[in-house]
Amino acid sequence: MKKLKMAASAVLLIQAVAINAQNVPLLPQFAMLKSVEAQTGVPARPWSAPADDVSLPEAVDNSILEAFPPIFNQIGGSCAQAATIGYMFTYEVNSLLGRKADVPENRFSYLYSWNFINGGKDEGSLSWDGIALSLYSGMMTEADFPTQTSAYSFRWASGYDKYFRAMHYRVKSFEYMDAGSPEGVSALKRYLYDGGEKGGRGRVVVFSSASEGWRMDDDYDGPSLTGYRSILLELPVDGAHAMTIVGYDDTVECEFNDRTTSGAFIAVNSWGPYMHDRGRYYIPYCFFEEDQDSEYVLSKEVVGIDVEYVEPVLAFSAGVDYSSRDDLSFSVGASSGAWAESPEVTWQMNIARNQGGDYPMQGSGFDSDIEFGFDASPIADEAFAMDDVTWFLGVTKNARGKVNGSGRVTSFRVHDYRDGEDDPVVLTAELPEDTEIRNGTNWYALKTTEPETTSASPVEWLQADGQPLKATFIVRTADGGYAKVRFSEYDRKNGKINLRYVYTSDTHLGH
């Protein structure tokens, strides 16, 4: 049997670690979690193992289950999204729904989330930003996300149906635990085995570590029930990286501080199937349990997620043609009455929210036109209770970066799924000729009923030159009074007219 001598100078640093040279935290410190929850809206809860009589098996490996995706090689500095979305989210959704990860329809695109949150640069991202993206907008599958082979194309998908399918797959909350003690190691093992529920499904977690200067033995032949030959001997000293813990093996042995230690977690990397042993390696429990020299970095804080399948009841599709996408953010809204000019209730989208860098809408070197799908379900209850509801798409321009973009809205539709996804009611907005996106918030309306008008002929108030008559019109108001109305300066192209009116009662009608 081959015994392994592990470096005693390795460390456990009780803090979040950077995922790239910008020193952006990958995972929040526990003291930060309430702030993270407030910023992202993702419910966060500490996780601890229940006090029951469950006896854990000696080994668990969730990466060999059909719900877990094949090992892949990440593009660019996308490790946080690769670990969080590509591995963890894919596994948790498939495990929940009883699906296999052998087809792209059942694997989720870490590039979908990374390209919304990386600022149009090949830089790291935050694990919980991808989690927050899924909470409100869902996550797109590999089948729907466009092919991307370069870290520098920063693709965004186009097509309402793709975004609508993504809306179904959500993070409900994230769970965090401290694995930096023997008790923490035991709790994490229970989470990996059954998620803390007797007979429950095994779970996986994301953790962070430095990534340069680690020492691996890729020829481990000691005790093992899971059969991997790659084991971490010495923690890395620089850089940062996100990975996924998928299981454990209590029988793995090595020497640490001149004593034999037993047990290791199974970590999955995103550097391809030829790294380590089929993309997997052992990280001994002792690295988590021992106090170690602070020049070496390993996060003892690990994060898991609860996921859910959601059926939206209200969604908007929005077509946009624009030259610099990080100028824009989007919102949906509704108001009662056919005459409404702005929404009474609104909801801000958390995708395409001043994101993606100074590129056309579909990415660097790609088209400037795009069709989004936005989940408007958060406003559905209030909106559906309104009389003669008018729907609103909000597009806010706030110039960012080096390019002051230009463009317009090309389409706006509302999809009502109250009677089911197989029979939606789809309404299409009649947009004005001028849909230019100007500075500030631009509201585009979709009316469900025609505004009530007077009995006057629509042509009698116009002269042959297209300008209004100078005559005064008298109209009856809803409360039984009257109003004197005069029109002027009619601009048919932009739909504008000056309107002067005076309310009067019956006794003053002739004055």
In terms of domains, do 508 and 429 share one?
no
Assess whether 343 and 263 both reside in one domain.
no
- Asked whether residue 391 falls in the same domain as residue 469, the answer is no
As a whole number of angstroms, the distance between CA 207 and CA 409 comes to: 42
E strands present in 212-337? 215-217, 231-234, 241-256, 259-268, 280-284, 301-309, 314-322, 328-335
264: domain CATH number is 3.90.70.10
437: domain CATH number? Answer: 2.60.60
Q: Are residues 388 and 487 in the same domain?
A: no
Distance CA 424, CA 320 (A): 23
| Continuous H helices in 65-200 | 79-81, 90-97, 110-117, 127-137, 160-166, 182-194
User: Exposed, middle or buried, 410 (CB in 10 Å: 0-12/13-18/19+)?
Assistant: middle
Q: Decide which of 308, 336, 354 is a domain's last residue.
A: 308
Rounded distance, CA 243 to CA 235, Å? Answer: 14
Distance CA 258, CA 4 (A): 10
Q: Based on the domain organization, do 409 and 435 belong to the same domain?
A: yes
Which of residues 260, 290, 308 is at a domain's end?
308
Distance of CA 5 to the CA centre of its chain: 43
Residue ending a domain, among 398, 419, 447, is 447
Do 159 and 282 reside in the same domain of the chain? yes
pLDDT in tens, the chain (511 residues): 333 433 332 222 222 333 333 334 455 554 555 566 666 677 888 999 998 889 999 999 999 999 999 999 999 999 999 999 999 999 999 999 999 999 999 999 999 999 999 999 998 888 888 999 999 999 999 999 988 889 999 999 999 999 999 999 999 998 999 999 999 999 999 999 999 999 999 999 999 988 888 889 999 999 999 999 999 998 887 888 999 999 999 999 987 777 888 999 999 999 999 999 999 999 999 999 887 665 447 888 899 999 999 999 999 999 999 999 999 999 999 999 998 999 999 999 999 999 999 999 999 999 999 999 999 999 999 999 999 999 999 999 999 889 999 999 999 999 999 999 999 999 999 999 999 999 999 999 999 998 765 555 554 666 767 777 766 666 666 555 667 777 777 776 666 777 777 665 544 444 4
Q: Are residues 321 and 431 in the same domain?
A: yes
Q: What is the DSSP letter of 212?
A: B
Kindly state whether residues 339 and 376 are assigned to the same domain.
Answer: yes
Is residue 38 domain-shared with residue 145, that is, in the same domain?
Answer: yes
301 with 329, same domain?
A: no
Number of domains forming the structure of the chain: 3
Name which of 290, 282, 208 is nearest 243 in CA terms.
208
Are the CB atoms for 288 and 300 separated by under 8 Å? yes
Q: Give the CA angle between residues 332, 144, 113 to the nearest 5°.
A: 60
Q: How large is the C-alpha radius of gyration of the chain?
A: 29
328 with 369, same domain?
yes
Write out the residue range of the structural domain in which residue 417 sits. 314-447
For residues 484 and 424, membership in a common domain is answered with no
Q: Whole-model pTM?
A: 0.83
Taking CA atoms, 307 is separated from 1, 174, 316, 363, in Å, by 42, 9, 23, 29
Amino acid, res. 169: Y
